[in-house]
Every structure is written in C-alpha cells, then in structure tokens.
Amino acid sequence: MSTDRRDIEAGVSDYGTIISRWRIGLGRRWVNLSLASQASLAGGTMLVVALVLCALAMMSIVTENVITQRAATTALFVDSVVSPHLQELATTTLVSPETGAFLDDVMQQPAFISRFPYLDVWLSDGTIAYSNSHEIIGRRFPLPPGVKQALQGQVIASFTELGTEEHVGRNFKDDYSEIYIPVYLDKAGEVIGVAEIHELTAPLEEALLRSTILTCLAVLATASLVSAVLFSIVRHGSKTIELQKANLATRLRQSEALAAKYRKTREIARKASKSATEITDRYLRTLQADLHDGPVQLIALALLNLGSVRSTRLKEDRSKRLADIEEALSEALGEVRDIATGMTLPEIRDLDLGALIAKALLHSSAGGTKIVAEISVGEVRAPYPVNLCVYRFCQEGLSNALRHGVPGTTKMAATVIDGKIQVAISNRVRQNPDSAVARERFALGLDGLEARVTSFGGNFSFEKDTQQATLFMALEIVE
C-alpha cells in the first residue's frame, strides 16, 4: 500500500515538474518575442474572444429585436383581421360557427398558412375558444406564461415549448415561434381573450442569421480597423525599441572591445614599464662593468706606475714608466670617450624621417658593409620621441643584422602608409652563430626594442627560421 502511494506521489511530482518546466519554457519564449509579436498574439486572442462574446450578445439582442418586430407586425394583422370577429367572446366561451368558418378560411389562405400554420384563441380560464386544430376547441389547458402576460395587455413572443399539453396533444415535432396577442373589447378596451399564433421559424432563423452575420461582419471590420491602427503603432514602437536595443548591443560590444583594448594596452604599458626598468638597470650594470674593467683599471695601473716613477733614479726607467703611464691614460681616455659615444645619440631632433633613417644607415654601413635599402618616407616629420624610437630601432636592428647575419644580405625597407611609419629589416641567418662579432656596448636587444615600440602604441614583431630573420615595426606618426 505504501509502495503504491509512493509511486503515485512520484508520478504527481514528475507531472508537476513537467508542468513547471513547460511554464518556464513558455515564459521564456514569450519574453523573447518582440513587442509587435506579443501585441499580435495577445491582441488577436482578445479580438477572437471579443468577437465570440460580441456575436453571442448580438445574437441575443438581434433575436429579441427581430422577434419583437415580427410580433408587433403579427399583432397588427390579428388586431385588424381577427379581433373584430372575436368580440362575441365577451358573452360566450366559444366562437360561433360563422366566426369559426371565417377564421378557417383566413387560415387556409396560402399567404397565411405558409407562414402561420396554427391559430389558437384562449380565454382567461384556459379554455380554447377557437383553433384551426378543431380537436382542441373547447378544451381547457393550463395557461402558458405567454397567455398570462398577454391577458395583462402585453404582446409576447417566445419559442414553442413542445412539452406543454396542448402541443403534445397535436403531436408537435417542429419548433415554432409563438406570438400571444391580447384581444380587446371594442367599447370598454377590456382584454377578453388572447390570440396565440404559431409562426414557422425558418424565415425567422434566416432573418436572425442574416442580421447576426451582418452585425458580426460590421464588428469584425471595425475591430480589424482599430486593431490594424493599434498594431501599426505598436509595430513602429517595437521597431524603434529593437533598433535601440541593437544600437545598445552594438555599443555594448564596442565598449567591451574598448575595455579589452584598454586592458591590453595597460598590460603592454605595464610590460613596457617593467622592460624599461630592466633596461635601465642593465644599462647601469653595463656602464659600471665597462668603467670598472676599462678606464678604472687603466687609471689604477697609471697610479701604480706613477709610484714607481717617484722611486726610480735611472732616467731610462723613469722615461719607460712615464711612457707606460701615458699609454694607460690615453687608453682610459679612449674608453671613456667610447662609453660616452655609445650612450649618446647624434642630433636628430630637427631631421625628417627620411633623413633620420639615412643617418642610421650611414652610421651602420660606416664599416664598409653593404646594406640594400628601399626608403620611401619622403620628408615626413614626427615628434622627437618618435624620431628617437625610429632611430634606435634602425640602429639596433641593423647592428643585430650585421653582427648575426650573413655579410652582404642585410636589407631594409621603410614606408609611410596611412599615417604610420613601417620599417622592416631582414637578413639571411648565419649558419655558424658562434663566430658572431662581440656585442656592442649599451645595445637595447629585442626586448628593449619591443618595449620602446609598444610604449608608443606601435606594433613590433620578430620572425626567424633557419634561412632568414625579419624585424618589423609599425608606429603611428603624431603630427
């Protein structure tokens, strides 16, 4: 028993889970629809519901109006044709044979029988004073509600209740509309009876159907026109919202791209700052090593020789010692000048980019090494920091190419494209790198070059394989 209960509870839980997921999925699909689609679905559903309700209400109203109108028309007929011959009911309970024969003749006319097949005349006690169904004349039946209201002076119209006694006795199978019309006494205006006339429903139903269809079509046309106008407004608003949404999405992507670019630029700046610190430290250590290993030792040697000069007495020894001192000081002076030359650049502040690159080429090819150059930068001028960066790149790149590449294979190309100076230096790779020339003092190296170029927002790359090495730089020229 408990197992069955657990199975039932599990089934109910699974059903609840399915319904919940369906609702969530439906809600998500609804949210993902555009405003115009939501308005179309909701408005269309409401329009259908409104049309159905309107059709039902209009059918009821139209039915009542049509029946009332036809009842009024029939009442005029009865009042003008039948009532004058029923005045005798004020003193009798049944119509006379002459009156009955007249009424039978009237009801047998094709114009009447095709529309009004039955006519009954009621008295207030339920007696049938006349009927073209002769078998019920003189019989008494319970008063129908319509007869009771007609005895109060009202014209009543309703549909046939096939279960009433007077209808069962005549074996009525088809529905009729029943119109109850009070019969007045001419002199006193007193109701002396009620004429119940049965009308075929087919013409009435055709009139009702035609009126209902016309009414529904009018309501549909009006509702469609209003819905179209409202939908056009909503659609315009939906398009505006979608356009703004797309613009916001585009701006969001652009903002994200700018944020990513900012983060990348900040990382590059951080690396450049780190590289600059490392390069500065390497510069200082190189300067300290060069000063200590070169001029400092030579000056120390000169000082030692100077002490021996003071203690010697022979002229020849003193001259030799002085010559050694002079040679050591001269070599130390040369070392200091070389260090100073390596630390400073030539005057390039007022040079355009073409002259600046030519100066770097001239400096690098001073040793007689041939460099193939294609320079097409014209007389474009750049700020001094850009000049420094370009000159250092050319100087270091050519120096590396000449030291590590195959002699006579160094090429350099420099162009200005879309406001950017682009420089490429390439050479064939030396197959025996151990025979390379010793490194120059204060060389920047690839890391230093990359740090300099990227710190200005430029592009730097170095590609090398077993045959060729290419160094490339692209830097924005800020006027």
Query: Which uninterrupted H or E stretch holds 121?
Result: strand 118-122
Q: Output the pLDDT for position 141.
A: 87
What are the tens digits of pLDDT across the range 247-263?
A: 999 999 999 998 888 88
Asked whether the domain spanning 347-476 has the same topology as the one spanning 60-208, the reply is: no
The Cα–Cα gap between 68 and 61 comes to 10
**pTM of structure:** 0.42
More confident residue, 190 or 13: 190
Task: For the chain, give every domain's residue range.
Answer: 60-208, 347-476
Are 192 and 153 in contact, with CB atoms under 8 Å apart?
A: no
| pLDDT confidence of residue 435 | 44
CATH dotted code for 347-476 = 3.30.565.10
Q: Where do the DSSP E strands lie in 334-445?
A: 372-376, 411-417, 420-428
| Backbone φ, ψ for residue 374 (5° rounding) | -125, 100
- Residue 264 to residue 447: CA distance in whole angstroms: 18
Strand bridging mode 420-428 / 468-476:
antiparallel
Looking at the domain covering 60-208, what would its CATH class be? Answer: alpha beta
Lowest mean pLDDT among 215-229, 294-308, 439-453: 439-453
**Confidence category of residue 438, pLDDT binned at 50, 70, 90:** very low
Strands 128-131 and 420-428 turn out to be: unpaired
Mean pLDDT of 461-470: 86
Average pLDDT on 280-291 reads 70
Per-residue pLDDT at 442: 44
Q: Is the pLDDT of residue 155 over 80?
A: yes
Task: Give 178's strand partners.
Answer: 158, 198
Percentage of the chain with pLDDT > 90?
2
User: What is the rounded CA–CA span in Å between residue 427 and residue 405?
Assistant: 6
Confidence tier at 238 by pLDDT (50, 70, 90): confident
| The pLDDT of residue 6 is above 70 | no
When pLDDT is averaged across residues 373-385 and rounded to a whole number, the result is: 85
Tens-place pLDDT, residues 27-44:
566 666 666 677 777 777
- Confidence band of 424 (pLDDT split at 50, 70, 90): very high
| DSSP H or E run through 253 | helix 201-291
Residues 6+ apart with CB under 8 A from 269: 455
Q: Supply angle C-alpha 48, 49, 51, rounded to 5.
A: 65
Whether the pLDDT of residue 346 is over 70: the answer is no
Of 328, 115, 108, the C-alpha closest to 206 is: 115
pLDDT for residue 472: 92
CA distance 143 to 126: 5
